[in-house]
Structures are given as C-alpha cells and as structure tokens.
Structure 1
C-alpha cells in the first residue's frame, strides 16, 4: 500500500506559476500569429509586438495616416493589436473602393467595441444585409415624410433659428461659449423628426444626455477603445476610459427608452406622427417574420444614432464656422454684404436665397473641407474577398477611409492647408462643385442626413450673420487646434456676437 506524499505550498506555487507562464505564452503566440499580414496584403508601417500600431493613433490619426500614405502608397495596412486593417487615402483610391466596389466595402467590422455598444444592430454600425436595408429605408422615408420632404419643415428650422438667435441676443454682445446653444438648436431639428417635438434649451435631462453622447464620441476614438478592440478581456479591469464609455452608453439607453415610451403614448397604428411611431408600425407589421430586424432594442440603438449623427456633426460645423468668421473678418464682411444684398433686414433668409448667395455657399463648403468634421468616417469592412490595385483584401477586413486625406489631396486642391472659400468659385464668382469633396462620405454607407444638414447649415449660418457681427473678446484668438474624437471639434472658446447696425 503506497502513501501519498503531501505537496508543499512552494511546489504548488511553482506548478501554478508554470501553468500561468504556459497560458501567457500561448496567448502571446496566438497574438503574434494574428499580427501576420495575409498573403498579398498591402504593406504598411512595422507594428510593435502584441499592440501593433495602436499607439500611432493616439494623436491625430488622420494626419499620421496621410503621412504614411506618402511612404507606403494610398492603400496601406496597419495592425491594430492583431486586427488587420487597411487604410485608404486620397480621393482616387477612396472612390475606387466606395463607389466602384460599393457593395464589397459596405459592411461594418465586427469589432468588440461595436458589439458591446450596439450588438451590431441599429443603423450606423449594423452589418450590411437585411437589417441595414430595412433600417436605412425607414430612416430615409421618415426624414422625407417628417422632415425635408415637407414644405413646412423649412419654417420649423427657421423657427428654431429664431429661438437660437434670440438666446444669443440675451448676452448683449458680451462673450460666451456658443457650444451649448448651437448643440441645443441643432439637436432640435433631428428631434422634430424623431419625436415630433423640440426640447427647450433649459431641459436639463435632455441636455445631460446630449453631453454624454458628445463625450462618448470622443471616448470611442480614444486609445482605450482601440485597446479594447484588440484585447476585449480588458473589460475586467476596473479602470480605463472604455469603462466610462460603457457606463455612459447604459445611462443613455435607459433615458432613450423612457423617451420612446413617452412619445409613443396615444399612438394610433398606421398614422405615424414621427419616426418612433413609424418604427413601431414596422415592428407590428413584421411581428410574424422571425427574420425581421425591427425590435425594441434596435429602436433604442437607432434613435440614439440618429440623434448623435444629426447633432454632433452639424453642431461642430457651426462651431467651426463661427470660429473662422471671427478669425477672418474680411470673409465675414463678404458674407454680410451678400446677405444684405439678397435678403436685406426686413425678412429672414430662405432656401430660395441659397442659389443666389454663392459666396456664402463657398464659405460653408470650405468650412466642411478645411475642418474635416469626421476625418475617418465610420469604419467599413469587406463583404467578400476582393482585389484593389493588385492587393488582396480578404473578406471581413477592417477598412478605414481617411476623408481628411481627400480634402487635403494636393492633386485636387491647391494649397490645401489654406482656408480659402474662393477655391469653390470660378473666375466669374459663381459657385462650382468640386469632385474631391466628400464630407458625407461616398457609396452605400454615405450619410443619409446630408440634405437635411445642408439645409440646417445654410439657414442657421445666414440668420446668425444677418443679425450679428462675430468677434473675439479683446481680439484674443483662441486655440485653433482640433479636439480629437470620432469627430473633430474646436476646443471651447468665447465669442462676442454684436448686433449689426443695418
């Protein structure tokens, strides 16, 4: 009969340490294998072991990518911690992919961050397929039916503009930060379509939600977000900005659910008053179809995405426009003269004035080009294997389109680093479109709110400059650098809006 010898704590610790070392070695080998470029994949900067090129995206990733394209070509690859990614730079290359192979580049990557936040549902981050087709079709029809397709909708935007202008007037020419008022005003245009109502500028609950949304737009492009995509196991860490992002998202979704329940009260089926009613109608009509993508969860995701997409981008366009009018008083003066000439001061500007106000149109286009509100757009993915310029791009590859590189593409823009509205005017001073102008992206996943955004920008901008002259307090120029996130926004600044003497 044999006796079992007792195992000492030291031996136990040694054994456990060996197991941990083996486990970590397996993870390391697995990660290094993931970092190997597929055969025929585009070249790119050398990645660091394990983390790849993630650290290169900490500061101004759009600028870094454009510089790398000068070394590796318009299409090159990067390793985002084991996630093989291709970067597309320049108008020609982006057009070749998003237009000539639009369906192949229409997917979204199944990144852990997107899965965590929206379960790859909703609209913006939805995988390419029936769910996306159903949700985009409903969103487009709702924008037309409840928004810009109505003759009265321009009046609703103008009415919101007046609330906005009057709120600015209360500062009596003294300095203030315009972010809060611009955000409130712009978000209300989307609110009219989604909820059928506007929110007052002192609705603290709604303002808090918008602030959280804006914070998440910044956090989603933070280094922690890229690390989470590469190493989703870091969710167990009690620290890190990804935890803040998830906490914010949960709070927003709970608030959106309450809003949806509130605005769907007294709903009459098949007589929709707004987007929420229209969505619930689709849910009812497709209740017996197990493949239908309409659900309460996807409604929450979609409402959130429409709010933030309709608010964050146009808000930042207006904030940059205000900043640059104060920075370039000579340009502002030309806009004033055009408003005085074609509108006067006895009525407010309308969309019928837009074709005549060609310098103003050029200014707004230059703000969109120069400020690059969404420099990297939303990440794409390939739906199947494809070949671009001789490179093999496997199915499911993450694709980043550097729209910043398009707007600073020297082939299409002379002196792209110069803010110059005249580049959108011909020799006779007439506005002329430019091919390499893609602030709303291209292809199947281009921004569905483009038409609405252009309406808003023109009316808000012209009504603001009809009444006010914009200037910096004591001539002090604020920080002009962009604040990095999924969108590029100005750092907070103070502006004086002085009543014009007409």
Structure 2
C-alpha cells in the first residue's frame, strides 16, 4: 500500500528523475571495474572517458599516472592500453596467442608543380608510393594527373585524418546513436562509400577482361579462387570481401610509407647537416650514374639509419591498430578477460627513455654502432610485433629505402623561406606532418 501510494503521487518529473537514478545505478553496477582489471581515470556515467584524449601524448601522461597497463572506458566498453617496450613486447611477443583477435571498430566497420619552385609534395609522394601497391593489386599504375585516382587518394587521406577526431572516436563508442548525427564520422563514411565505388569499377573491369589462364594481378588471382570455390560460400571468396581486401591493402601499402617519406623531408629541412651526410654517403657508394638499389643498402648504413630514425620519431601509427584478447590473459598483474579491446601504444616504445639515448631528438646514431655500421634495435616497433605484425613490413622497408635514397641522390631539399614546417604533427588515425611546401634543387 505504501509503495502504491508513493507511485500514485509521483508526477512526470519525479518519474523522470527516478528513471534516471535507476539508469545511473545500472550503469555503475554494469561497468564497475574489477579490482584485477587495469586501472584508469574515473569515467563519466554512460559516457565513460570519451573526453579523455587518446593521442599518444595524452596516453603517455596516463601511463605515467596509472602504469604501463591501464584502461579507458568508451561508452560501456573498456579498452586496455599497453605502454613501454617491456610491456608491449610481453603482450605481442611473449604472449603470442593472447592478443591476436580484432575488435569491431564501428567507424571502419561501415566500410564493407615544377622543381625549383615551392610545392607541396604530399600527393606526388602519395601517388608514387600508391602506384607500387596498385600495380600488384590492380595491374596498373596511374598517372599523377589522373583525376579519379587523385580523388581516391584525397578522400582516403581525409578519412584517415578525420578518423582520429574526438567525434569519430565517440562514434566508435555510440555507433547506433551517432549514426544519424552530423560530424566528421559522416565524412569518413561518405568518403569510404565513394572509394568503394571506385574499387567496384576496377573489379568490374577485371571481371569483364578476366582470362583464367593469364592472371595479371591480385584481382585476377582472387577471381580465380572465387571460381574454384563458387560451390563453397563458407570459404569467403566473394566480391564484397575482394573489394574490402583491396581497400585494406591499398591503405596499408600507401598511407604509412607516404607519410614516413613526408616526415623524412621535414627532418631533412630541419637537419641539413644530416642531409649532406646522407648525400655524401650516396655519392661515395652509388654515384650519380645509376639509381640506388636494395643491394646498396648494406653499404649505406647512415642512409639506412636516417630512414629508421624517421620511422621512430615520425611515429606514424602511435597507438597501433586495435586488437582484442582472444582468451583470458594476465598482463602486468592484471586480468584481461577474453573479448576485451586492447591498444598497444607503440609510441611509448619508440620514445622509451630506457631504450633510446635521445628519445625526443632526431638522432640517426640510435641505429649505428661504434664503427658506424647499421645496428638493429629491439625497441624499434613501428610495424608492431607478434602475430599481428604489419603484413607489408618487408615491402615498406624496401620502398622507404629506395625512395629516400633516390630523392637525396638527385635533389637537395630545403624549406621555402619563412615557411619552415613544424615538427608537431597532425593526429588522425595516423600521425602525419602538417601541410608544408618545399624547394627541391637538382644536384
């Protein structure tokens, strides 16, 4: 009777407050962090830590406060971040089978001129790099003036930059809610829709010209597998998967290498003495009568060291790509249940003060021994490590060395007067240089 009378006297506002209190209590109980789970900052009810920056500098501060294994909450999902060379190596190498699954990332899940004058090298470099993977996948290279391919690259670059924005990250936490809300995440989704239209046209062209006895590229080979497995739909060979594979491989084979080369140009403008030393080594070993080759790499240790230092300090993918615990695991004394999303903060490894003499300074000596020969570093993990290490690592290493050595062989890179680019990058899904122009003087 007492409860009945209480309910009878409650007005709309009272019911609203009561409902909110119940939802709040439910959220607190449901998202209560177990004592054994990695620690982290206090989370807002319902929202979690969506206002906490997930750029590598913010994550570095959180690691200092909470330790190398900590967590943040996005909506109702907890994400574990792993920092420091020691702990990243423990997760990716020593526990090979513990963190190999991929979580669903809603934002991406929706996706099924002259030398001597100042110029922006962004899309010259991006097109050059992308033409390599395009030759493998699509069986062709595109002209630098090709408007459709240039649009493809611009849309993709914009999507990658916007994917790191706070509102795009909120979409990953609340995809159902923000699917209908304007914002940068809508641009990302629209861009990928347009990109997929471009790729569908490429696949359709291949289907029309396909000769099973003369496969020309990845698409032709894939179409052959589709034909072989047409009676077995569970094998997964279909046009939708093919298109997503092409997009994945083009992005992986373009963005990181092209961005690394742009960072290399920035560093060469800031450190002209290093640029001169690279050019002197190339002149001594290769000369000017031919282009550098992969066979020259062992004889160009300083050049190779500069490329590696660019990757280290350029820090292209500072938080790596999301992974997920494939089984219950223990890391740093904390229990991480199966199905928990994790991010390895690769930036923390690349600037780990225990591993690098001058972690915040561009210093090729990090990769040279006392005799000036190139030396590998265990804490050099720009491609991640373990079972989810970057599939194109070998290809990327080769591309970076050949592009960089060939550029420095033929040109001296200098800033436009009064336009020295900054060393603070732009944080998107990748860490890229701000827009800049250069002068490239033929040698």
Q: How many residues align?
A: 434
Name the residue aligned to 2:235: 292
Equivalent runs, 1:212-361 vs 2, <5 Å:
212-269=155-212, 271-361=214-304
- Unaligned 5+ residue runs, structure 2? 1-9
Is 1:235–1:243's contact at 8 Å kept on the other side of the alignment? no
Aligned in 2, Cα 1:257/1:42: closer, same or farther, shift over 3 Å? same
- Between the aligned partners of 1:221 and 1:433, the Cα distance in structure 2 is 31
- Between the aligned partners of 1:190 and 1:236, the Cα distance in structure 2 is 32
Name the residue aligned to 2:421: 478
Task: Measure how far apart 1:307 and its partner are.
Answer: 0.8
Is 1:35–1:81's contact at 8 Å kept on the other side of the alignment? no
Greater displacement, 191-200 / 48-57: 48-57
Q: Does 1:180 pair with 2:174?
A: no
Is 1:32–1:82's contact at 8 Å kept on the other side of the alignment? no
Name the residue aligned to 1:363: 306
Name the residue aligned to 1:457: 400
Name the residue aligned to 1:74: 68
- Between the aligned partners of 2:108 and 2:115, the Cα distance in structure 1 is 45
Q: Does 1:57 pair with 2:53?
A: yes
Is 1:342–1:356's contact at 8 Å kept on the other side of the alignment? yes
Q: TM-score if structure 1 supplies the norm length?
A: 0.83
SS of the residue aligned with 2:352? coil
Name the residue aligned to 1:3: none
Which stretches of structure 1, 4 residues or more, deviate above 6 A after TM superposition?
Answer: 14-23
Task: Measure how far apart 1:194 and its partner are.
Answer: 0.4
Aligned in 2, Cα 1:202/1:18: closer, same or farther, shift over 3 Å? farther
Task: Measure how far apart 1:237 and its partner are.
Answer: 3.3
CA deviation profile, 1:265-312 (whole Å, cap 9, x unmatched): 321225421111111122222222242122211111110111111111
| RMSD between aligned residues | 1.9
- Between the aligned partners of 1:203 and 1:22, the Cα distance in structure 2 is 61
Name the residue aligned to 1:102: 96
2:431 alignment partner, one of 488, 491, 495:
488
Name the residue aligned to 1:407: 350
Name the residue aligned to 2:154: 211
SS of the residue aligned with 1:471? strand
Name the residue aligned to 2:31: 35
Task: Measure how far apart 1:479 and its partner are.
Answer: 2.4
Task: Measure how far apart 1:172 and its partner are.
Answer: 3.5
Task: Measure how far apart 1:33 and its partner are.
Answer: 3.7
CA deviation profile, 1:395-425 (whole Å, cap 9, x unmatched): 1101010000001111111220111001111
- Between the aligned partners of 1:235 and 1:71, the Cα distance in structure 2 is 31
Is 1:406–1:438's contact at 8 Å kept on the other side of the alignment? yes
CA deviation profile, 1:435-465 (whole Å, cap 9, x unmatched): 1001101011111111111111111111111
Name the residue aligned to 1:142: none
Q: TM-score if structure 2 supplies the norm length?
A: 0.93
SS of the residue aligned with 2:46? coil
- Between the aligned partners of 1:208 and 1:496, the Cα distance in structure 2 is 25
Name the residue aligned to 1:126: none
- Between the aligned partners of 1:270 and 1:16, the Cα distance in structure 2 is 73
1:84 alignment partner, one of 67, 78, 81:
78
Is 1:34–1:83's contact at 8 Å kept on the other side of the alignment? no
Equivalent runs, 1:431-446 vs 2, <5 Å:
431-446=374-389
Task: Measure how far apart 1:23 and its partner are.
Answer: 6.3
Equivalent runs, 1:113-128 vs 2, <5 Å:
113-118=107-112
Aligned in 2, Cα 1:473/1:285: closer, same or farther, shift over 3 Å? same
